[in-house]
Structure 1
């Protein structure tokens, strides 16, 4: 496969780097420098602002329905942060989210939703086996847990609504059932604030990454063992006729045989420089972590659906995650969202301790809630894989296999036409 240059060192880029290096390619990856871990923090998130290393750790094979849907649009008003919900539409970012929202509405027609649903379901079908295989490859099989996750509700009414909603969903290869009495008691034992859990469900055949910082380190180490090279910095692309080339922030220009863009929310700027139209947005999530001494090590991810909050136990810490805030990746964080998350933790009486670490990360989201995976029609040597929204961690090894097929000339196992970035058109000067 020759020389390959990967722009972006998140979980998608690193998984792709491992698979391409395994296939015999000479692979170089450029990544921003990770910040040094804070000695005062109860645990480390990895690179700040990078959702690959600060997410909920959930391998979400059940989320086969794109969020660009009529149901989501109809429910959006009651989900607004100002009304107590998890949807943030900050006024200082209206120029970013208003055009995105208009495109999302256009992407939510029944026909486009059906196409997206089929594409997403196909991607997710092998996600958990692909993660198990990747964990074995990088010699860290215990990074993946296959013990499902739990959803709980705080009232009989919300439990009835939630159960009916999930029973009506296509959850792909996952299965669900009512939470057994012991598991409900185990979850209740963590809720020490006087709140009674009314009911719950348990998903099977979903999974979890047990340690995101170790995942990052293990992927990087194995990539380098295979002969891959990681350089620190940023890169931009330029097009010369039908070929792309890389310009590093050092001033060096490279002309590799193949360029793979896996730069998350930054991929929009990179791809648009070549002439593609990429209406990507930063869909920001707010998380809080604390030491995990009082949280059972065997508790799977626990979703408090009434509060739109997921709590995950990692190897050395416990994390609460929530909120969907549309804006720009560099907009200052809204502390009221962390404060509400902390109030949820306090109201439930969850054993988080007093030393809390706050974090915000920007999910790379396209209006139809499908990733962009394919080969560019504007540059023969350019392949891309970005825009995985909430499913970047889940789909990283699957995506790595697909881009390896694309670059090697093999036929991908899925029809990638619905995922082509050309579905959004081209910049005017290129059209």
Structure 2
């Protein structure tokens, strides 16, 4: 790859792709973003808005595998393995089991990424001209029974949470939490050090404005990679585009793109669901209802409940039972959903080791990747943009540790 690239094509207009494009443009490159679905919000826009720096332990672990049966959707849990998608999740599951044997190495890599996540978000929010986009209030974790509260507290006490800390909720916080729901709960802790995006629509608009100011060109349409020798070019709308750097940051679509140039990626569509409705309730940090594997977040005057880990294919229709269960959870907890409920589902791009793919693609002169962020697309998007700019342009790294991170 050129030591002094001047041009870059970023395939993917989601949060990770946008963050990478902005940082590459800031490093002096002429950047083109190719987006095939500008009106369709990908997974990073449909999540809980939670910047989850406490999640330094990859999900690819023996603990995850042991707990899978009791977490199955049919038993009331959030994990689902649709029969129609067995061809996708069975080989993925076998790879996940193999990755679990490398848990310590994965945790070390993820911990280093997480160490830079919050500082990178502060820099990004400042560069977007809206520091209020980032709300650093932590989040709450609640349990509904004494037994699950005791087990949950013990589990978090034994979990490495990186730069975040877990403490008991105060009496005042308990009172506020009780006032925001109609059902009783048995215990709550507060995670300090995590954060949330205050308004995802506002974030999308701020990013689009910043990209426009930076001179980033947008092409609408589906991209195809073409390899000639060791170089890769991009075709979109019948037009061929060439650049010193071609960055694949297309989320779940990244595997199909790379397959076109002979690169096989074991990416799965790990689908999540949410429901959202207007609210006039209290403005609270995100609340994780651990007994139900559900997180509830306030964005402006709307409240969102998100859940489910559905290993599937992106082209399969959504499962309406997921939305029905979310609505039941919301009703049983007495949460302040008011007015019409809007459903959503999307595909998290997940690799078996639950680490993102960030790096140059072997065997090519100008192809690089930034995808596979699983549940952590929002959390790691800002720092991924900085790492990509450093990796491809050779700017000063935001933290010396990033210069040695490899995936």
When normalised by structure 1's length, the TM-score is: 0.91
In structure 2, which of residues 55, 61, 74 is the aligned counterpart of residue 63 of structure 1? Answer: 55
Partner of 2:108: 118
Query: For the residues of structure 2 that align with 1:312 and 1:266, how far apart are their CA atoms?
Result: 27
Partner of 1:269: 256
Q: Does 1:348 align with 2:333?
A: yes
Query: For the residues of structure 1 that align with 2:264 and 2:143, how far apart are their CA atoms?
Result: 42
8 Å CA contact 1:371, 1:419 repeated in 2: no
Partner of 2:129: 139
In structure 2, which of residues 10, 33, 52 is the aligned counterpart of residue 6 of structure 1? Answer: 10
Query: For the residues of structure 1 that align with 2:403 and 2:315, how far apart are their CA atoms?
Result: 31
Q: Does 1:73 align with 2:61?
A: no
Q: How far off its partner does 1:23 sit?
A: 1.1
In structure 2, which of residues 158, 161, 178 is the aligned counterpart of residue 168 of structure 1? Answer: 158
Query: For the residues of structure 2 that align with 1:145 and 1:417, how far apart are their CA atoms?
Result: 30
In structure 2, which of residues 22, 31, 48 is the aligned counterpart of residue 18 of structure 1? Answer: 22
In structure 1, which of residues 272, 283, 288 is the aligned counterpart of residue 270 of structure 2? Answer: 283
Partner of 2:176: 186
Structure 1: gaps of 5 or more residues:
36-46, 421-431
Partner of 1:296: 282
Query: For the residues of structure 1 that align with 2:260 and 2:406, how far apart are their CA atoms?
Result: 20
In structure 2, which of residues 357, 367, 389 is the aligned counterpart of residue 404 of structure 1? Answer: 389
Query: For the residues of structure 2 that align with 1:58 and 1:245, how far apart are their CA atoms?
Result: 36
Query: For the residues of structure 2 that align with 1:287 and 1:157, how far apart are their CA atoms?
Result: 27
Q: How far off its partner does 1:417 sit?
A: 7.6
SS in 2 for 1:125: helix
Structure 2: gaps of 5 or more residues:
none
8 Å CA contact 1:5, 1:28 repeated in 2: yes
SS in 1 for 2:108: helix
1:39-71 superposed Cα distances (whole Å, 9 cap, x missing partner) = xxxxxxxx34x1121110000000000000000
Q: How far off its partner does 1:272 sit?
A: 2.0
Q: How many residues align?
A: 401
SS in 2 for 1:191: coil
Partner of 2:86: 94
Query: For the residues of structure 1 that align with 2:175 and 2:350, how far apart are their CA atoms?
Result: 37
When normalised by structure 2's length, the TM-score is: 0.96
Query: For the residues of structure 2 that align with 1:155 and 1:357, how far apart are their CA atoms?
Result: 30
8 Å CA contact 1:274, 1:378 repeated in 2: no
SS in 1 for 2:387: helix
8 Å CA contact 1:177, 1:201 repeated in 2: yes
